[in-house]
Amino acid sequence: MKKKIAIATLGCKVNQFESASFISGFEENDSQLVPFSSPADIYVINTCAVTARAGQQSRQLVRRAMRANPEARIVVTGCYAQVAGEELLEMIDNPTCIIGNGNKHLLVETALTDTLPELVMLTGKISMKKEICPLPVDRFSGRTRAYLRIQDGCNNFCSYCIVPYSRGRSRSLPTAAVFDQVEKFAREGYREMVITGINVGKYGLDLDEKQNIYSLLESLCRRYPEMRIRLSSIEPTEVNGRLLDVMTGYGNFMPHLHIPLQSGDDRILARMNRHYTVEVFVDVIRRISTALPRAAIGCDVLAGFPGEDDQAADNTFRLLEGLPVSYLHVFPYSRRPGTLAASFKEQVDGKIKEQRVHRLRELDTRKRQAFYRQHLGTSQQVLVERQNKKSGLLQGFSENYIPLQFKGPARLRHRIVPVHFDRLEDEQPLGSVEIEQE
């Protein structure tokens, strides 16, 4: 009898990649994947701990699994399992496996072992891990773009961030394994790969190979000219002339960079233990927009960090207002037990934090619309991802990350098609496909 497996995943692209590897592993072992809302023999929850809310959502998924089948084995992994394993044990009555981020390559085999004790604890000391978990992925079901995880962990210890405690030190996937994974994606027919990790800019620095993020990106662009290469995000400290040379030198490297700023105030950046100043950040953005005038530049910004007064909040707003950035991801500061900033005095009042988030999200809308208007009337190469259920229109991203919708036959899915960017309607970019309709 095939074992029924249900998987739920929270959080970042690295977690999404790792869950796709679990799915490949269970399929190779002839298990049956079922929706998380269905009865299953084994429930896998790949958790997140980046905010208090993510921790809460992780616990909610565990409770849902317990209710769905009190006999089922519950396998909890991911960042919340790594930093709050004991808390999880207190709430779970079912047979349980708690598997840390450093042991994710053991998850499938462990979960499918029949003779397991009631409780299996495989968290381990993540800070001692020297190698990245080998987690091959066959495919991303239902996705048009493949996430390629090349690195895990982080050595930066930003004072608000739990990730170095949940994912350990920076560890890179050896180049040969990277190319094995890319070969699989190319054979599966993926037309775009999103290069991801926890701190991808540090790729290769821990390997005995003469490799770093720039040389790896260049090799990927050269060896897979038909594949669109998109970088998920990179720290401002790793954006330099070498990266811009690769981006301007290869047409298949997408003109899109996502760069965490977090604060536009030097005093707050120092309290965050971020390793750059506002002046350095401004220079980075200016160099990108000079080298790649049509590039999309996205920024992460944190509102309400302890000690952020009105002046510091305004400095962040004015800085972003004046810079040629295309969109913002705005997050309210979330106090994470175990991080340095959690012990900081001057925690910002929730109402004030909300107001600052609201103001920055309004700015985000203005920036996005201004960026779209800049490209109105142009022809864009769009990778068609899906058909919008409500409008029936096809949708996908242009090279510079404009989410275009347009009329067209479903058979265009997973193909890169030229789309004329005609207009904006209710802030939504709309276009018309520029190929013969048979």
Tell me the closest approach of the beta carbon of residue 265 to ligand SF4, in angstroms. 17
Question: For ligand SF4, which is the closer residue by CB, 196 or 380?
Answer: 196
Identify which range of 61-69, 78-86, 154-162, 399-407 contacts ligand SF4 by CB under 6 A. Answer: 154-162
In the chain, the N- to C-terminal Cα span, in Å, equals 47
Question: For ligand SF4, which is the closer residue by CB, 46 or 144?
Answer: 46
Assess contact for 356 and 304: CB atoms under 8 A.
yes
Question: CB neighbours (10 Å) of residue 246?
Answer: 22
When asked if residue 161 is in the footprint of ligand SF4 (CB under 6 A), the reply is yes
When asked if residue 164 is in the footprint of ligand SF4 (CB under 6 A), the reply is yes
When asked if residue 154 is in the footprint of ligand SF4 (CB under 6 A), the reply is yes
Cβ neighbours for 214, distance < 8 A, ≥ 6 positions apart: 242, 243, 246
Give CA torsion, residues 144, 150, 155, 157, to 10 deg. 10
When asked if residue 320 is in the footprint of ligand SF4 (CB under 6 A), the reply is no
> Considering only residues 214-253, where is the footprint of ligand SF4 by CB under 6 A?
235
When asked if residue 198 is in the footprint of ligand SF4 (CB under 6 A), the reply is yes
Pairing assessment for the beta strands 403-407 and 428-433 based on DSSP bridges: parallel
Assess contact for 49 and 83: CB atoms under 8 A.
yes
Tell me the closest approach of the beta carbon of residue 198 to ligand SF4, in angstroms. 5
Can you tell me which of 75, 76, 98, 158 binds ligand SF4, judged by CB under 6 A? 158
Can you tell me which of 48, 163, 195, 325 binds ligand SF4, judged by CB under 6 A? 163
Angle between helix axes 278-291 and 241-249 (nearest 10 degrees) is: 20
Q: How far is CA 316 from CA 163, 180, 278, 286, in A?
A: 24, 42, 9, 17
Cβ neighbours for 112, distance < 8 A, ≥ 6 positions apart: 3, 26, 29, 31, 42
Site map for ligand SF4, 109-148, x if CB under 6 A? ----------------------------------------
Assess contact for 416 and 382: CB atoms under 8 A.
yes
Identify which range of 114-122, 152-160, 326-334, 406-414 contacts ligand SF4 by CB under 6 A. Answer: 152-160
Can you tell me which of 29, 156, 215, 374 binds ligand SF4, judged by CB under 6 A? 156
Question: For ligand SF4, which is the closer residue by CB, 25 or 78?
Answer: 78
For ligand SF4, the binding residues (CB under 6 A) are 154, 156-158, 161, 163-164, 198-199, 235
